[in-house]
């Protein structure tokens, strides 16, 4: 590189490759986690809800943003302003301004998606009021910020080309509003990240499981961090904007990508649950659905004596049920009338009395977040044996 002492920089310096690579990586990573989220919900029979569709739209907007900023680099974005022709400056400004519109909207709706997910876990009215307040205020501020891109100057052409005759709003006030909306959006990320701890820590779950679910659902704090960094770069993107706006453009895209990724990770617990269930069950089969299944039952033995059934549970752990019956005839009557009434507490088991003993071992899931926002059983509780003895006679 040849440094020009008169200009104070290298005229051949170009930061466009950094922007392009960063955007390609963020779009790919966010698509990977969004795809895994959708795949998990489809595999485990969880219906697609509003938050899923909103998140998909947010990713589409991120793709549109990426395409526009990459196109802007072909017209000089990433290079020093004085090295770019006036026509390329106008075109780069127009593409970048349109890209900013898409990324601002994507930030708002991606955060709304996670907030909608939290709404399904709320159990107090003030929880819902607070979350709806966050959704409304974030969208109001971000949408107005995006709209101001097109309404800040009259005529519209003056937004992209300052040589066009017309009027514009006070740039300092507009910049302050953008900083405020960005700061508010970032702060709401931290509030939403704390919400799972408020909701889940009060539930009757194992302590380790609570921590795991809360951490998974609190990764939105990373979005808050990226939002703070992005907001700090707003004031540094003026002046030689074609070169200095690269950092702001990268962090704006990162904020949306991080929200999409963080909002998708909790749903991957569905797959993790199945893998863990398979690992703990050895060769036992299971669907990983999180529910005890009684549809896979095999009898061993005959009608008399010991009847043993093998039950496959949702996580791959098999449970065993034994049924021992002593069948007989009371007073010349068959024993199929023994279920008509239950013995009084003083009745004793002996000759002429039907004895039925059932031993049931149940392994079950204990507390985990499912794909549709409900809390389902996950961790295996060992040695949950229950014996029920019933004595019946007429």
Q: What is the pLDDT of residues 315-339, one digit of tens each?
A: 344 344 444 444 444 344 444 333 3
What kind of architecture, by CATH, is found in domain 16-273? Up-down Bundle (1.20)
Contact indicator for 119, 50 with CB cutoff of 8 Å: no
Extents of the domains making up the chain: 16-273, 285-392
pLDDT of residue 2: 57
pTM over 0.75: no
3 state SS for 7-65: CCECCCCECHHHHHHHHHHHHHHHHHHHHHHHHHHHHCCCCCCHHHHHHHHHHHHHHHH
φ, ψ of residue 387 to 5 degrees: the values are -115, 130
Average pLDDT over residues 230-256: 88
Average pLDDT, the chain: 74
Q: Is the model's pLDDT at 186 over the cut of 80?
A: yes
Q: Is the model's pLDDT at 343 over the cut of 50?
A: no
> In whole angstroms, what is the distance from residue 350 CA to residue 323 CA?
19
Compute the radius of gyration of the chain from its Cα atoms: 31
Average pLDDT over residues 38-43: 89
Q: Give every strand in the sheet of 318-326, ordered side by side.
A: 292-300, 306-313, 318-326, 354-361, 385-392
> In whole angstroms, what is the distance from residue 237 CA to residue 265 CA?
33
3-state secondary structure of 361: strand
CA distances from 154 to 96, 151, 167 (A): 19, 7, 5
- CB-based contacts of 182, cutoff 8 Å, min separation 6: 227, 230, 231, 234
Q: Is the model's pLDDT at 371 over the cut of 90?
A: no
Q: Which residue has the higher pLDDT, 224 or 282?
A: 224
Count CB-CB contacts under 10 A for residue 180: 13
- CB-based contacts of 67, cutoff 8 Å, min separation 6: none
CA distances from 162 to 74, 76, 95, 307, 313 (A): 21, 17, 15, 88, 69
Per-residue pLDDT tens for 62-99? 999 999 999 999 999 999 888 999 999 999 999 999 99
pLDDT of residue 6: 57
Torsion of the alpha carbons at 177, 182, 183 and 189, rounded to the nearest 10: 150
Q: Which residue has the higher pLDDT, 173 or 204?
A: 173
- Locate 380 and state its tokens: 């295996």
> In whole angstroms, what is the distance from residue 126 CA to residue 111 CA?
19
Query: Could you tell me which of 360, 354, 365 has the C-alpha nearest to residue 390?
Result: 354
Per-residue pLDDT tens for 42-72? 888 888 999 999 999 999 999 999 999 999 9
């Amino acid at each position: 590189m040849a440094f020009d002492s008169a200009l104070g920089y290298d005229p051949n310096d170009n930061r466009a490759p950094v922007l392009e690579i960063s955007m390609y990586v963020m779009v790919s990573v966010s698509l990977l986690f969004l795809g895994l989220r959708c795949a998990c919900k489809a595999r485990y029979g969880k219906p697609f809800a509003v938050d899923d569709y909103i998140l998909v739209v947010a990713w589409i907007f991120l793709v549109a943003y990426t395409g526009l900023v990459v196109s802007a680099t072909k017209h000089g974005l990433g290079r020093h302003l004085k090295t770019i022709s006036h026509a390329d400056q106008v075109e780069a400004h127009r593409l970048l301004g349109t890209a900013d519109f898409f990324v601002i909207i994507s930030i708002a709706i991606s955060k709304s998606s996670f907030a909608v997910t939290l709404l399904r876990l709320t159990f107090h009215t003030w929880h819902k009021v607070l979350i709806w307040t966050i959704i409304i205020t974030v969208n109001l501020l971000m949408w107005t910020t995006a709209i101001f891109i097109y309404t800040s100057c009259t005529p519209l052409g003056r937004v992209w080309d300052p040589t066009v005759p017309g009027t514009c709003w006070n740039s300092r006030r507009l910049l302050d509003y953008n900083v405020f909306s960005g700061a508010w959006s970032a702060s709401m990320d931290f509030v939403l990240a704390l919400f799972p701890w408020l909701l889940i820590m009060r539930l009757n779950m194992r302590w380790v499981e609570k921590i795991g679910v809360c951490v998974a659902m609190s990764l939105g704090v990373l979005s808050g961090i990226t939002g703070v960094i992005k907001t700090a770069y707003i004031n540094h993107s003026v002046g030689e904007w074609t070169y200095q706006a690269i950092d702001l453009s990268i962090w704006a895209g990162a904020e949306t990508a991080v929200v999409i990724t963080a909002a998708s990770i909790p749903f991957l617990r569905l797959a993790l649950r199945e893998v863990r269930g398979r690992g703990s069950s050895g060769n036992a089969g299971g669907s990983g659905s999180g529910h005890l299944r009684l549809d896979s039952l095999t009898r061993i033995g005959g009608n008399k004596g010991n009847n043993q059934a093998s039950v496959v549970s949702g996580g791959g752990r098999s449970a065993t049920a034994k049924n021992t019956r002593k069948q007989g005839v009371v007073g010349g009557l068959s024993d199929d009338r023994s279920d008509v009434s239950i013995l009084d507490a003083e009745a004793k088991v002996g000759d002429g009395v039907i004895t039925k003993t059932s031993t049931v071992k149940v392994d079950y899931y204990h507390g985990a977040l499912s794909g549709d926002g409900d809390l389902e059983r996950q961790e295996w509780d060992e040695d949950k044996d229950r014996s029920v003895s019933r004595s019946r006679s007429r």
